[in-house]
A and B are shown apart, each in its own frame.
Chain A
Amino acid sequence: MDSSPLLPAHRQPEPSAHGFIDRRGFLKQNVRLLLWTFAISAGVRLPRVNAAGDTPDIAVAKGDRVAATRAAVDLLGGMARFVATGQKVIIKPNMSFAGGPEDATDTHPDVVRELVAMCKEAGAARVRVLDHTLRREERCIEGVQKACEVFGDDVVQAISRSRFFKSAPIPDGRQMRETEVMREVLEADVLIAAPVAKSHSSSGVSMSMKGMMGLIYNRGIMHSRYDLHESIVDLASLLTPALVVVDGSRVLSSNGPGGPGRVLKADTIIASTDMVAADAQAVAMFEWYGRKLQPRNVKHIRIAHERGLGRMDVENLRVKQVQA
């Protein structure tokens, strides 16, 4: 009996006892075929790009920030690999500071806008861009809010009230075993981290892992009660994004997180499904305080690697670079 080319092996119909297809088998097969046809035509079952062996672990796109954002995600298989029709998506950029894009303290609004657009194209039912800002909310999110106006005026939200947060256990936490996370994040289907690449005076760098501190209520405790790096990893074990897009269009290479510091015009977007690898790649790629440093020089990246949360040995990973 011919096997259906569309069905994976374990779903192939059993050959019947007499070598012929019986009526029940025939009907079953047809119904299955019909359902699969629907599913495929709806674009939900199969990835648009063949995600076989040649998908890189880390995608690096150079060039215009908007085009590079799309190119980097496309290298990983396109947004449809991460976002399916009808899903709720949270994008977490860094919007903690009120400066302009030239300060490199926050994710570039254009990068966030492109990500929202890609999620919408992939059929997301709801996309929200959230952060618990450090400075005055309306000022911090102004830029991204303006950029995302095309999707409605309520996509970008700065959240600080306790009522929007919900306590969540951190099963894999070593020091921090519980924290209050934005309710909406806990209920979302897909979490996408979109940090800017910047230095940070106490955590070395602040990228996707450190950025997750913008989704919880009490981050002061991560400085005071816990070891900052250990608790960053604890938090990352709870809030693990499906996709990380590091905005290296500008890199705040010194004096982060608030600047003013040395800003590198790197025109680079890094994407990965592994938050440790994405952060590590950015550490390895750019200069920090005028010198080259290794991912292991950032303690929370090192700990995350050791705890198996992701990989910092970028030299052993498949890195693919394109010019957008």
Chain B
Amino acid sequence: MNLQRTVQVFCLAIFLLLSTAAAFRYTGWLPHDLFLRLDPAAALLTGIAARVWLVGFLAAGAVLALTVVLGRFFCGYLCPLGTVIDGVDACVAKPGARTGNIPARWRAAKYGVLIFTMAAALAGLSLAFLVAPIPLVTRFFALLVLPLIQQLADLLLRLAAPLADRFDLTSLLYLQLPLPRFYLQWLTLFLMLLILAAGRWRSRFWCRCLCPAGALMALCARRPVLRRRVTDDCIDCGRCTRHCPTGAIGEDPRTTSHGECITCQACRRVCPTQAVVFARPRPLNGAGPRSSFSQYRRGLLLAGVSGLGTAAVTLSGARHLLGDTGTRRVIPPDLIRPPGARPEDDFLRRCYRCGACLEACPTNTLQPYGLSAGLPGLLTPVITPQLGPCEPTCTTCGQACPTQAIRSLPPAERLWAKVGTAHILRHKCLAWELDRKCLVCDEVCPYDAIVLKQEPGLKVAVPFVMEKRCSGCGYCEHHCPVEAVPAIVVEPMDALRLSSGSFRRQGRAIGMDLQLRSKKPPPGEVASPYPLHEGTDGQGLPPGFSE
């Protein structure tokens, strides 16, 4: 295996390992979002859309700076999507997929994509999640491939269970792999299949024609410091032209479109006379057709206008009142953002939809959202209490978020990051409606936000939510035994969404009282500042007892 393939495989392996490690919440010295940080398109689009400069963007900047020296090395060596595309291309390509030409105007489409999305970002709509390569491939792996692998591993464990039992391998027998499940898996797959399927027609189609990161790097690599050069040993055999995966070499093998070249050096390896070198250019040598887009000025202008228009149309809809704080609010009841999520508008502009938070969420409550909040909300993370509760002390999603769309909070702050409020649907509640003992919500509430009271006409004490103590964690909804719509549901009402500052201070200021029930005084004392359940249970007995 040559150097390029070795590096590619190595980088893909690192990418997969980091992503897998993130799913198991392993934190090492390598940041789990290393590759996300390297994506210049994601960084640029998010920076523009959110009007923000993040330290994390430095790495992407460094990639661009290095591209000026080395050409599109990122595409040829580091990009995990590029490597996946190479692998798939090798399997699905039709004859001629590698040698065939792509018309120049098609290749210029990537600049169109870049300008379209930049214009949309300028208008406040981030489309990085649809076009930036690393968020795409991260999401594909985190939300589809890894869950499938885990399911498969679990199947194997099941098959091995009798053996494990026979040989007393208890830990193996009871090994419970996390089995995350995600909504919209077909959409995740479809977006990736679109990219990969094009490889049947032309190799690296995505990288050559559509990838906005590729476009950015092509702009930086118009005349890289180290670039392809052909010496006088060239015998015009044309092998390099035929072997170039990106069609960067012209009919005359001495010419190179450096913006298209991903420096894979396949041309150097196939050259029978070793006439190809990657080095400093000699004067008057190697000038070739540029990766030019000046002749498509009109098309690119159109792309920019379309981008602005798309953003304008999208954001003009009623759905976008989501971020409004006035009286005209449209908040889907299931749009419960993770704890620490910034105010909705800021959140949407920053979120990569990379799936890092969803993958890392230990209770699998975080799910990609559909279209109920419009296109800007597509694939963004929401809490889904019926799948799992949101642990009051867990700070994983904030730590996983590469753009801090979900703020990484210290535990004391996290406790106050209220995501919503629980409501009892009395007409479904076993206690309220059927006068039956249940009260699981009270049993599971980590914040002790449920109180039981005696109501006239009912034998059992019935639950009430004390909103001031409720963080919207969803333990109650998750464990409520009532099926279909549970009898207690969390809605995003009164969620605390702060771009900066302390959740605790803000929460206190608006009269919240969020604390875990395990914080209690010494034994023998009444723990909570609230009275014990003053249950009389109809017959003057404490709750749960009967005559």
Contacts and interface: CB of A to CB of B under 8 A. Distances in A.
Contact of B440 (A102, A164, A220, A288): A220
Nearest to B170: A154
Contacts of B295: none
B543 interface: yes
Contacts of A261: 527, 532
A223 B535 contact: no
Contacts of B96: none
A263 B158 contact: no
B171 A154 contact: yes
B542 A254 contact: yes
Contact of B533 (A161, A223, A255, A293): A255
B440 A204 contact: no
A202 B438 contact: yes
13 contacts: A98-B518, A134-B479, A157-B174, A160-B176, A201-B452, A202-B440, A203-B544, A205-B544, A255-B527, A255-B533, A261-B532, A293-B541, A293-B542
A261 B543 CA distance: 13
Which of B444, B461, B526, B542 has the most A CB atoms < 10 Å from its CB? B542
Which of B430, B439, B523, B527 has the most A CB atoms < 10 Å from its CB? B523
B517 interface: yes
B520 A223 contact: no
A153 interface: yes
A224 B483 contact: yes
A289 interface: yes
Which of B448, B460, B532 has the most A CB atoms < 10 Å from its CB? B532
Interface of B: 158, 161, 168, 170-171, 174, 176, 362-363, 391, 430, 436-440, 442-446, 448, 452, 460-461, 479-483, 517-520, 523-528, 532-533, 535, 541-547
A197 B430 CA distance: 26
A288 B545 contact: yes
A154 B446 CA distance: 28
B543 to A, nearest CB: 4
Contacts of B170: 128, 152, 154-155, 157
B179 to A, nearest CB: 8
A265 interface: yes
Given A250-B523, A258-B444, A297-B547, A224 B171 contact: no
Nearest to B482: A224
A255 B532 contact: yes
A162 to B, nearest CB: 11
Interface string A123-157: 00010100000111100000000000000111101
Contacts of A160: 176
Given A228-B437, A260-B448, A263-B523, A223 B481 contact: yes
Given A104-B523, A288-B542, A293-B545, 4 more contacts: A157-B174, A204-B542, A221-B481, A297-B547
A262 interface: yes
Contact of B527 (A221, A260, A289, A291): A260
Given A136-B362, A163-B158, A258-B517, A201 B543 contact: yes
Bin the interface of chain A by size.
35 or more
Given A250-B523, A261-B532, A227 B542 contact: no
Contacts of A309: none
A289 B535 CA distance: 10
A262 to B, nearest CB: 7
Nearest to A299: B546
Given A201-B439, A223-B440, A288-B542, A99 B481 contact: no
Which of A202, A221, A262, A291 has the most B CB atoms < 10 Å from its CB? A202
Contacts of B430: 223-224
B481 A224 contact: yes
A209 to B, nearest CB: 13
A291 B528 CA distance: 20
Given A102-B523, A159-B174, A202 B543 contact: yes
Contact of A201 (B481, B519, B535): B535
B443 A257 contact: yes
Interface in A238-279: 250, 254-255, 257-265
Contact of A259 (B482, B520, B543, B547): B520
A137 B175 CA distance: 12
B546 A297 contact: yes
Contact of A264 (B520, B524, B542): B524
A247 B482 CA distance: 32
Which of A152, A154, A159, A223 has the most B CB atoms < 10 Å from its CB? A223
Contacts of B461: 201
A136 B394 CA distance: 11
Contacts of B518: 98-100, 103, 259-260
B371 to A, nearest CB: 31
A102 B522 CA distance: 8
A99 B460 CA distance: 28
Given A154-B170, A201-B544, A260 B524 contact: no
